[in-house]
Amino acid sequence: MSEDTQMSLIDEIDYGTPPSQAAEMVTLTIDGRAVTVPAGTSIMRAAMEAGTAIPKLCATDMLDAFGSCRLCLVEIEGRAGTPASCTTPVAPDMAVATASERLDRLRRGVMELYVSDHPVTSLDPCTLDPCTQGDVELLDVAAEVGLTEVRYGLDGARHRSTGLDVSNPYFMYDPEKCIVCSRCVRACSDVQGTFALTISGRGFDSVMAAGSDQPFLESECVSCGACVQACPTGSLIEKAVVETGRPDRTVLTTCAYCGVGCSFKAEMKGDDVVRMVPYKDGKANHGHSCVKGRFAWGYTTHRERILHPMIRDSIDAPWREVSWDEAIGFAASEIGRIQARYGRDSVGAITSSRCTNEETFLVQKLVRAGFGNNNVDTCARVCHSPTGYGLSQTFGTSAGTQDFDSVEQTDVMIVIGANPTDAHPVFASRMKQRLRQGAKLIVIDPRRIDLVRSPHVEAECHLPLRPGTNVAVVTALAHVIVAERLVDEDFVRMRCDWDEYQDWADFVLRPEHGPEAVEALSGVPADLIRKAARLYATGGNGAIYYGLGVTEHSQGTTAVMALANLAMATGNIGRPGVGVNPLRGQNNVQGSCDMGSFPHELSGYRHIAGGDVRRLFESDWGVTLNPEPGLRIPNMFDAALDGSFKALYVQGEDILQSDPDTRHVAAGLGAMECVIVQDLFLNETASYAHVFLPGSTFLEKDGTFTNAERRIQLVRKALAPRNGYADWEVTLLLAKALGMTMHYDHPSQIMDEIARLTPTFAGVSYARLEALGSIQWPCNANAPEGTPVMHVDGFVRGKGRFIATEYVASDEKTGPRFPLLLTTGRILSQYNVGAQTRRTDNVVWHHEDVLEIHPHDAEMRGIADGAWVRLASRAGETTLRAQVTDRVAPGVVYTTFHHPDTQANVVTTDNSDWATNCPEYKCTAVQVSPSNGRSPWQQDYEAFSDRSRRIAPVEAAE
């Protein structure tokens, strides 16, 4: 994107109807010109592709044709009447006229009626107040068809008005402006898949209504904003547009919330962001978004954002605002002092999965080349590290196998340990589209997640397993597939190691892996296990989508391997529609792993012990690298407590709130002599920090994020950093203060270095990203435009490797003291520790964490819906309100971890995955009992938290 296009408003072409996927091409003439398009294309789209815009109101290319507005009429030689061009497909040798005196007259007549029903004071868009009149697509079309007067007047009777609805915090609905084109209704059903909107009433009384004619906020609306984006009249409009006015320029960028990685147009007016509109050419989201990405960016200007560096000698003292020079100088001298006193390995850093690839790469370089050790880790440690290890052992790469578009060719989906409608909502909408087309769904989850049953979607099987039994259940699926001879033997013989397969087949056939034996462990009926296995193995293209419900267990890595085994045994790998797909949590968790954030490996997943790889980096960086793996995040806390780890630089991660066993984390942080936190806000970890370096938001910097489909996308600076520096610049300041000589003027130079040192990124550069829009790694000489689907002709490691997956029960066993199992997760409107979303209006949907408990368990304990309860484990206890629901099975309770005053992680334990130390968040033995109020821990923590956030008043200048 050139500077010029950045400066102007991007108004994407609307082709009116979606593209046809047909291979067969058809040639017709439109206004005398020959046009060739795929069969099945509408006349409207064919005309637009040839550069002729046919007037339209109810049509838009995100939605199937509807044929209601009667504006897009055309004449077709040899056919009677004036058919709608949106609903009429092209045919060979068809001759179409898009304009004629008759068509003009008809369109003006239709338009005149629409305008008479719309509260405007003038037909000239230039004379209207853009704020109060909102979006004027309707008036643009009126001008386009040459409507100059309205014979019925501009103040005639209108559709029934149900009153202005301002209940949603981000957009408003004025029914008076509605022309009943149904674009919003169809966007809600076809694109988002929520079916919250409808046309209520009949004839002239028709009007769009949310839910059962309710305010938006009370309806089942999930506030994705697709309806607002679709509305051609301003009947639905962002409040920010009404308040700030219409934007005048666009900056294309990438969302900084989840691993879907939606492309957005940041629409700007002057130096303000007016709104975020999903970009139709975005390959991950195709013009759709969720409530977080589209609306929840107000935290960037929140009053609690810290804009000045601060330091303090002890965590009991108030913060003192200082200059950047002083803060950086203090941090560097502390690191130097601590290394001199406690040794080179006594310091480390945590890279952020929220920051860019370039920023992450710099932090790990700072550690390896500057600190001279490998004590660097990233929050992927606590989410998808088992994915990295499990998939590299079986397939040879530490990443998902498909692109998101692959789901369009999927016939059977397994969704295990993931809740896409809450955590990956934009991809969940794609899944629901495919499910409505007839694909089958198997959900393996302790909770009845929304996908199990929601409007027009119903899972074929839901396996409500006991938390901690994933490996047993997935191995039982394999047992059925092998026992019933459903294995794709040709695929296995050709693509996998046959001896290892046979060992594995013998292993899974053991009676203890049979459905009956596993029913006893997991609580999943044996017949349901059989049904699911048969469906996945025989239902056509089978795709596995999984999340942290798979990885965050003591056997997380084993479960990932079990899923990979399943895909290989059924031949569901190496083509569109299939695969093993981790749904990555954070915007750049894939990227932070790719960039060498793990203590044992350099960028591109190459072990630090490898001499050749290390020498490559040593010659580029001009340093000697330590060949030993460093500490992982949980090990850092242990090492801090034994006195061998004393300083930590944390960029953009709130480990105190997000890591398990809060008391252990707090003790570890408390034992360190210098904690440097770089963040937007004084987060929970900052309570233990000595240096606070203000961070920048994704709107304030250039860089790249890599999403769950390995897609590298540009993040572009829309605003100057309010704190003064982009995060990569802050790291650079620290590196220089430590005596490192690295220098970059722009993140593109960091990417050039990444590409130079990382074979899977060899073909990546900002110029290529600008040209291609996005690139899925590997991108190199063999795949110059990237790789949407992996392992097509062979596995990256050569032969696919089957691995035996013995079930080992978690240490978190229920018993008399702790008879329930707690599992944790996220909700749509909030994001992880909530540092951002809690500082937006998203709190109207979720202002506190609640505990879901089954009616049976609640009744036994005398707990009513909404009552305060005490939640206790062997690690700690907290209190929160109960929500009595049969969404969780008896014996299972569930909560979210978005709010620091609940701190679900006080309760979770320091158990972890055997291979990677990924914490076992998803399975904790607990007891729940009625409570009168907050736990002593919560009261102490609040007092501590208030005290540690004090900022000393700045003394007046002399």
Partner 1 sequence: MPPEKLVHMANQIGKFFASQPRGDAPAAIADHLRKFWDPRMRRAIVAHLEQGGAGLDPPVRAAVQRLASESGHQTV
Binding site for partner 1 (CB under 8 A): 345, 374-375, 503-504, 506-507, 554, 557-558, 599-600, 607, 609, 628-632, 635, 638-639, 642, 644, 803-804, 806, 808, 910, 912, 914-917
Separation between Cα atoms, residue 900 and residue 272, nearest integer Å:
30
Separation between Cα atoms, residue 751 and residue 734, nearest integer Å:
20
Picking from 475, 421, 417, 325, the residue whose alpha carbon sits closest to that of residue 806 is 475
Q: Measured from the CB atom, is 620 or 811 closer to partner 1?
A: 811
Q: Is 814 helix (H, G, I), strand (E, B) or coil?
A: coil
> Minimum Å distance from CB 722 to partner 1?
38
Separation between Cα atoms, residue 261 and residue 584, nearest integer Å:
10
CB distance 443 to 451 below 8 Å: yes
Q: Measured from the CB atom, is 42 or 635 closer to partner 1?
A: 635
Separation between Cα atoms, residue 211 and residue 173, nearest integer Å:
14
Separation between Cα atoms, residue 427 and residue 423, nearest integer Å:
9
Q: In sequence order, what are the beta bridge partners of 72?
A: none
Separation between Cα atoms, residue 501 and residue 520, nearest integer Å:
27
CA 625 to centroid of chain Cα atoms: 35
> Minimum Å distance from CB 608 to partner 1?
9
Q: Measured from the CB atom, is 164 or 609 closer to partner 1?
A: 609
Q: Measured from the CB atom, is 152 or 498 closer to partner 1?
A: 498
CA 455 to centroid of chain Cα atoms: 22
Can you point out the beta strands (E) in 876-923? 877-884, 892-896
> Minimum Å distance from CB 806 to partner 1?
4
Tokens of 827: 């909700």
> Minimum Å distance from CB 946 to partner 1?
32
CB distance 926 to 820 below 8 Å: yes
**What letter would DSSP give residue 160?**
P
Q: Measured from the CB atom, is 68 or 393 closer to partner 1?
A: 393
Compute CA distances 550 → 354, 377, 417, whole Å: 22, 21, 5
Q: Measured from the CB atom, is 290 or 482 closer to partner 1?
A: 482
Q: Measured from the CB atom, is 39 or 804 closer to partner 1?
A: 804
Q: Which residues contact 788 (CB under 8 A, 6 or more apart)?
A: 402, 403, 405, 406, 576, 709, 776
Q: Measured from the CB atom, is 345 or 709 closer to partner 1?
A: 345
Q: Measured from the CB atom, is 512 or 770 closer to partner 1?
A: 512
Compute CA distances 645 → 108, 131, 314, 668, whole Å: 76, 57, 17, 9
Q: Measured from the CB atom, is 377 or 729 closer to partner 1?
A: 377
Q: Measured from the CB atom, is 41 or 557 closer to partner 1?
A: 557
Picking from 286, 289, 294, 291, the residue whose alpha carbon sits closest to that of residue 404 is 286
Q: Measured from the CB atom, is 287 or 604 closer to partner 1?
A: 604
Q: In sequence order, what are the beta bridge partners of 208?
A: 199
Q: Which residues contact 485 (CB under 8 A, 6 or more apart)?
A: none
Q: Measured from the CB atom, is 164 or 809 closer to partner 1?
A: 809
> Minimum Å distance from CB 673 to partner 1?
18
Q: Which residues contact 235 (CB under 8 A, 6 or more apart)?
A: 134, 173, 174, 175, 176, 177, 178, 179, 184, 208
Q: Measured from the CB atom, is 561 or 732 closer to partner 1?
A: 561
Separation between Cα atoms, residue 185 and residue 183, nearest integer Å:
6
Picking from 456, 412, 455, the residue whose alpha carbon sits closest to that of residue 436 is 456
Picking from 544, 416, 536, the residue whose alpha carbon sits closest to that of residue 488 is 536
Tokens of 55: 């007037």
Q: Measured from the CB atom, is 297 or 504 closer to partner 1?
A: 504
Q: Measured from the CB atom, is 519 or 913 closer to partner 1?
A: 913
Q: Which residue has the tokens 């007891």?
A: 927
Angle at 371 between CA 366 and CA 377, to 5 degrees: 65
Q: Which residue has the tokens 């009007």?
A: 207
CB distance 233 to 134 below 8 Å: yes
Can you point out the beta strands (E) in 683-747? 691-694, 703-706, 711-715
Q: Measured from the CB atom, is 347 or 869 closer to partner 1?
A: 347
> Minimum Å distance from CB 348 to partner 1?
10
Element (H, E) at 868: strand 868-872
Q: Measured from the CB atom, is 494 or 808 closer to partner 1?
A: 808
Compute CA distances 502 → 414, 688, 804, whole Å: 25, 53, 11
> Minimum Å distance from CB 638 to partner 1?
5
> Minimum Å distance from CB 344 to partner 1?
12
**Helix/strand/coil (H, E, C) string of 416-439?**
ECCCHHHHCHHHHHHHHHHHHCCC
CB distance 701 to 726 below 8 Å: yes
Tokens of 110: 């239709």
